[in-house]
Amino acid sequence: MDSIRVSEALGPRSIRGEATMFYAYVIKSINAAYFYKGHCADLQKRLIQHNSGMTKSIKAYLPFELIYFESFNTLKEAIEREKYFKSSTGRKF
C-alpha cells in the first residue's frame, strides 16, 4: 500500500480554506472535429484561456466548448484521468 501525505490527501487549500478541486476535461472545437483533453484547477479560467488563443497548439481550432469534465480531490487523480482520456481506450469514451 502506498503511503499518502496528509497534504496530498486533502489537496491544496484556497485562500478561504476550502479544498481546491482539480478537473480533467474534454473540450471540442465548434468549427472542426477536434477534441482537446486536459487538466486544471480552475475550469472556467482554463476554458477562457483556450478560447483566447493562449494555447498555441490548438489556436487553429478556436472556439471551443466544454463537453465533459470530472472533478477530483488531488492533482494526481486529474492527471491520471487526463492520461486515460488520451489513451486508445479513453478515446472511445
Domain ranges of the chain: 20-92
Q: How far apart are CA 51 and CA 36, in angstroms?
A: 12
Residue 26: the pLDDT is 97
Look at residues 61, 62, 60 and name the one whose alpha carbon lies nearest to residue 52: 62
pTM of the model: 0.78
Cell numbers of 67, please?
Answer: 463537453
**Cβ neighbours, 10 Å, residue 30:** 12
Q: 20-92 architecture in CATH? A: 3-Layer(aba) Sandwich (3.40)
Over the stretch 20-78, which tens digit does the pLDDT of each residue have? 899 999 999 999 999 999 999 999 999 999 999 988 899 999 999 999 999 999 999 99
